[in-house]
Amino acid sequence: MVTDHAGRILYITAKLAELLGSTPKMLLGVDFSRFMAQPFMQLHSKWMKEAPVRAPISSCRSGAPTVLITQNSTPVPAKLDISIKDQGDKSIYVIKVMPKTFPQALDDRRLSLRINPYGQVLAASDAPATLFGFRPSALVERNINECLDVFFGLPATGGAQRLDMEHLITELVHRVVDQKDISWRCGVHPPMTTEEVTAAQHNVVQANMLANRTKAALMQLEVQEAEDELGGVVGLTLHLWRAEMLTGVVEVNKDAEIVQAGCCTLHQPGPLFGVPSSAMQRTPLSKWLPSIPAGYDGLLLDTKEKTALKHRTADIKIGPTRHASGMHSDGDPVHVVVQVNVIINFASVIVGAPTKR
Nearest of 13, 31, 2, 1 to residue 92 by alpha carbon: 2
- Write down the pTM of the prediction: 0.84
Whole-number pLDDT of residue 23: 95
Q: Report the run of H or E that residue 176 belongs to, with start and end.
A: helix 165-178
Query: pLDDT per position in the chain (357 positions), as tens?
Result: 999 988 899 999 999 999 999 999 999 999 998 898 888 887 776 676 666 667 778 888 888 899 999 998 999 999 999 888 888 788 899 999 999 999 999 998 899 999 999 999 999 999 999 999 999 999 999 999 999 999 998 999 998 888 999 999 999 999 998 888 889 999 999 999 888 888 887 888 888 888 889 999 999 999 998 877 766 888 999 999 999 888 899 988 888 899 999 888 888 999 999 999 999 999 999 899 998 877 667 777 766 654 544 555 556 677 778 888 988 988 889 988 888 877 655 556 666 655 444
Whole-number pLDDT of residue 353: 56
- What b/e readout covers 10-40, taking b as 16+ CB neighbours within 10 angstroms? eebeeebbebbbbebeebeebbbbebbbbbb
CA max distance for the chain: 71
Whole-number pLDDT of residue 303: 60
Q: In this structure, are residues 301 and 319 in contact, taking their beta carbons and an 8 Å threshold?
A: yes
Whole-number pLDDT of residue 356: 42
Q: How are strands ordered across the β-sheet holding 215-225?
A: 121-124, 110-115, 233-242, 215-225, 184-188
Nearest of 288, 357, 282, 291 to residue 324 by alpha carbon: 291
Whole-number pLDDT of residue 262: 87
According to DSSP, the residues that pair with 255 across neighbouring strands are: none
Whole-number pLDDT of residue 134: 95
Helix (H, G, I), strand (E, B) or coil at 192: coil
Cis link prior to 39 (omega < 30° from 0)?
Answer: yes
In this structure, the strands spanning 346-352 and 333-343 are: antiparallel
In this structure, the strands spanning 233-242 and 215-225 are: antiparallel
Whole-number pLDDT of residue 2: 95
Whole-number pLDDT of residue 305: 54
Sign of the Cα torsion 310, 316, 322, 327 reads: positive
Q: Report the run of H or E that residue 271 belongs to, with start and end.
A: helix 270-273
Identity of the residue numbered 235: G
Whole-number pLDDT of residue 51: 63
**Residue 3: CB atoms within 10 Å:** 22
Q: In this structure, are residues 77 and 101 in contact, taking their beta carbons and an 8 Å threshold?
A: yes
Nearest of 326, 329, 319, 328 to residue 349 by alpha carbon: 319
Determine the Cα–Cα distance for residues 207 and 51; give it in Å rounded to an integer.
36
* C-alpha distance from residue 46 to each of 87, 91, 316, 343, 348 (Å): 21, 16, 12, 15, 15
Count Cβ atoms within 10 A of the Cβ of residue 218 and give its class: 0-12 exposed, 13-18 middle, 19 or more buried.
buried
